[in-house]
Structure 1
Amino acid sequence: MTSDARTLLQVSGLRKTYRTGKAEFVAVDDLSFSVRAGGALGIVGESGSGKTTTARMLIGLERPDAGRILVQGEPLAATVRGKAARLARAKAVQIVFQDPYLSLDARISIGATIDGVLRLHGLTDRADRAARTKELLAQVGLGEREATALPRKLSGGQRQRAAIARALAVEPAVLVLDEAVSALDVSVQAQVLNLLSDIRRDTGIGLVFVSHDLAVVRYVCDEALVLYRGRTMEHRPVADLLTHPGHPYTQLLLASVPRPGWDPDSISRRRRELDPLPAAGAPGGRG
């Protein structure tokens, strides 16, 4: 895997194992990919495929057993000590979770939450912070009413937009979205996906979209990487991969999407036939 000045994120040989009692399983095995400025990579797989473990390693919540993660050519530190190091890590990679309550303080208004992030990252002038908060909220389609509201007063889509604004406040190089639209209604999903497409076009941020939903990946990503039991099955441009899937697991994922004439029994049989495929570890690994 080569790197150049426009490569924001470079992952090489990533591996993560877990122990449960005496048993050990490999959640992610020899995973490599890169994301260029303004690019969007979809990491696709079912529960247990290793995609969420990958997201957690990208933001430092899990430490890989092997491999390396570079952001703008600099290694992502395995351990972070001190305020300066924590702030640098935050500016490298941010995440938006499926549940925005994980990043929004229920006791603080949306505007105050973003103001606090800006202050933490060195914007000391109150008027400048107010202007930047307004700009960030406008960027995600929120206004003054939402700025003064507590998270519980907003809809699910509004909360997710606020979580995106909070993540963007530190101007990260890479934004990881872990099933970030899966809990939203279809119409709201489309709004958030359009928003993300606009943001990466306007800012050059790199997106890593972790999802089980192939329709979402098709809509927002340039490339897709298919994980099965922690290993890469395919990694190609989205249009090519979804139109001409080469691996049986990718074919199964596409066939599993309900449609007219869909046969669940046939899907179940095909899933059982996958069992002999090489796996990165014992079944039941973290997703």
Structure 2
Amino acid sequence: MVEDLSKRFGDHLAVDGVSFTLAPGTSLALVGESGSGKTTTARMVVGLERPSAGTVRLDGRDRATRHRGRAERLARAREIQMVFQDPYLSLDPRVTVGACVEEGLRLHTDLDAAARRERVAELLDQVGLGEREAAAPPRRLSGGQRQRVAIARALSVEPRVLVLDEAVAALDVSIQAQILALLATIRRDAGIGYLFVTHDLAVVRHIADEVLVLKSGRVVESGPTDRVLDAPRHPYTRLLLDSVPRRGWTPGSG
């Protein structure tokens, strides 16, 4: 899917030759500290950044190929959707949650108004929200509820791949667990591939089948999640694992 992807900003090489394959219904985590290149990689996969080199392919098609007309642009946009760390920034504060979700249906489907409303209700129910939340503006919802709305909106266009950029980083531990369980259920039921971007190895075991560890824009380790987390081979991976708080850990204990 992704081959030798690179991105240069002036003299800075932010991503350097990243390659990976994401099979349908699987989940891959891009892991690394801030500045490792993981978010830039994700943005290139979605199409928010143009690669300096390399390709992003879906079903053998290079997604960087120039689109021919509005219909093709919309079709490409449906294939890969993104959920950001702060869902409030991606939700229109002037309209209700239901209208936020319906926007994608209006743009990408031929459903009439009644069918769109029914589909919105189904999508919100899928992520554990109901009529009360649908009628509220985003500011009236908690952070976890807003993240559920962002997931529902991304799912509305039936994407092949869902890119989640630090999607649970701003949530407390109990809400993180709820969102991760929700994502696991959706992946199992819908067969969507997940590209999960995180600096937090504590959540990786719960969401990813495979892991790519990035340092300074390059892949330093990759493999099945259990192998990478239980028997890391690269010193940087071991450093990341050592930074994860463990049972009995207290600030200042090292």
Distance (Å, rounded) in 1 between the aligned partners of 2:207 and 2:173:
14
* Identity fraction in percent: 60
Distance (Å, rounded) in 1 between the aligned partners of 2:99 and 2:239:
46
Give the direction of change, closer, same or farther, for the CA distance of 1:129–1:164 in structure 2 (3 Å limit): same
Cα deviation digits, residues 76-128 of structure 1 (max 9, x gap):
12555742233112211100000102321000111111112101112331121
Question: Deviation at 1:140?
Answer: 0.5
**Pair 1:160-2:147 in alignment:** yes
Match of 1:216 in 2: 203
Distance (Å, rounded) in 1 between the aligned partners of 2:69 and 2:114:
28
Question: Deviation at 1:203?
Answer: 0.3
**Pair 1:12-2:34 in alignment:** no
Question: Deviation at 1:232?
Answer: 0.4
Give the direction of change, closer, same or farther, for the CA distance of 1:246–1:264 in structure 2 (3 Å limit): farther
Would the aligned equivalents of 1:123 and 1:129 in 2 still touch at CA under 8 Å? no
Distance (Å, rounded) in 2 between the aligned partners of 1:134 and 1:223:
33
Q: How does 1:4-153 map to 2 (within 5 A)?
A: 10-19=1-10, 24-77=11-64, 79-80=66-67, 82-153=69-140
User: Of residues 246, 271, 279 in structure 1, which corresponds to 2:233?
Assistant: 246
Question: Deviation at 1:264?
Answer: 6.8
Using the TM superposition, name which of 82-91 and 160-169 deviates more.
82-91
Q: Structure 1: where are the runs of 5+ without partners?
A: 1-9, 267-287
Distance (Å, rounded) in 2 between the aligned partners of 1:154 and 1:246:
43
| 1:26 aligned partner, one-letter code | L
Q: How does 1:218-233 map to 2 (within 5 A)?
A: 218-233=205-220
Would the aligned equivalents of 2:55 and 2:64 in 1 still touch at CA under 8 Å? no
Aligned to 1:102, what secondary structure does the other structure show? helix
Distance (Å, rounded) in 1 between the aligned partners of 2:178 and 2:215:
30
CA RMSD of aligned residues (A): 1.7
Normalised by the length of structure 1, the TM-score is 0.84
Give the direction of change, closer, same or farther, for the CA distance of 1:102–1:263 in structure 2 (3 Å limit): closer
Distance (Å, rounded) in 2 between the aligned partners of 1:131 and 1:31:
41
Cα deviation digits, residues 109-168 of structure 1 (max 9, x gap):
111111121011123311211111111101101100011110000000000000000000
Q: Structure 2: where are the runs of 5+ without partners?
A: none
| 1:31 aligned partner, one-letter code | V
Would the aligned equivalents of 1:43 and 1:208 in 2 still touch at CA under 8 Å? yes
| 2:181 aligned partner, one-letter code | N
Would the aligned equivalents of 1:71 and 1:173 in 2 still touch at CA under 8 Å? no
User: Of residues 158, 165, 179 in structure 2, which corresponds to 1:178?
Assistant: 165
Give the direction of change, closer, same or farther, for the CA distance of 1:249–1:263 in structure 2 (3 Å limit): farther
Structure 1 runs of 4+ with >6 Å offset: 261-266
Question: Deviation at 1:218?
Answer: 1.0
